[in-house]
Amino acid sequence: MAALWIAHVTVTDADAYGRYAALATSAIAAHGGEFIARGGRFVQLEGRAHPRNVVARFPSVEAAETCYHSAEYQEALGHAKGAAERELVIVELTE
């Protein structure tokens, strides 16, 4: 079943995070991921708000998790560490 990769992000270093985003985009696409929401308007109803919210759809939970652990994504993630506060979860769709 398809899965969603959902990230809630507060960027603290825009230059470094920009480097992360460029590399992460390629890594996510290489693992079958496609962005369906990326930093657009949102309404926070509960919990702590983050100014940037990203949702990518993957073919499966396994594909999303493989992407996260891939060398390409880990290289990208190196730029995000210290450049953002992030929360990331993978959720299987129940279509």
* pLDDT for 4: 98
Domain that holds residue 33: 3-92
Per-residue pLDDT at 64: 98
Total of domains in the chain: 1
Q: What own/partner pairs with CB < 8 Å and gap ≥ 24 does 11-14 have?
A: 11/51, 11/52, 11/83, 11/84, 12/82, 12/83, 12/84, 12/85, 13/82, 13/83, 13/84, 14/83
pLDDT at 46: 96
Which pLDDT does position 2 carry in this prediction? 98
Name the stretches of the chain with pLDDT < 50: none
Q: What are the tens digits of pLDDT across the range 47-72?
A: 999 999 999 999 999 999 999 999 99
**For residue 75, what is the domain's CATH number?**
3.30.70.100
Task: Specify the pTM.
Answer: 0.91
